[in-house]
Amino acid sequence: MRSFYQDTEKRFMVPELFSKEARDVAKRIRSRGRLQSSQFRNYFQQLRALESRYLADQQESQETAWHRLQPQLHLFKAKLAYGARKEGPLAQATEFRDFMEETIDSIKDGKDFEAAMLFVEAVLAYYYALETEQAKNNQRNRQHGRNRR
């Protein structure tokens, strides 16, 4: 289970969650399995859609919004499992699936959901940054290879 807050009243989020921990998770996802950045983005967009519905439902009441969100989070986990089928887009992305499932399982209320969304967004940002860094390194290596001939 992941803890998003450093206090029991859930007033202060763990700052390192959005830097060091998010970067470490992104590195693990990138190094252990094949996950296209577009696949990550697609699952994040599904969470964003849940967030939009949750925020709209909050206009009615916090309690209603939370009760409507809970089944959707469970359905999201089912979608992750479906993506992990033999020929699915997440078949080789176990680290990503584990990260997403652990994050979803850590959500116990609306404040946790809001924090989880920020955390997933931070991991996605680092994932993209690592992809760009890797592409630059690959290009540099190809250029050095040509220069040695």
User: What is the pLDDT, as a whole number, of residue 63?
Assistant: 94
Query: Furthest-apart CA pair in the chain: how many Å?
Result: 69
Walking along the chain (149 residues) 10 residues at a time, the average pLDDT comes out as 90 94 96 87 97 96 96 97 92 94 96 97 95 64 60
Helix (H, G, I), strand (E, B) or coil at 5: strand
pTM of the predicted model as reported, rounded to 2 decimal places: 0.87
Q: Give pLDDT tens digits for 106-143.
A: 999 999 999 999 999 999 999 999 987 665 655 566 66
Instruction: State how far the Cα of 40 lies from the Cα of 97, in Å rounded to an integer.
Output: 10
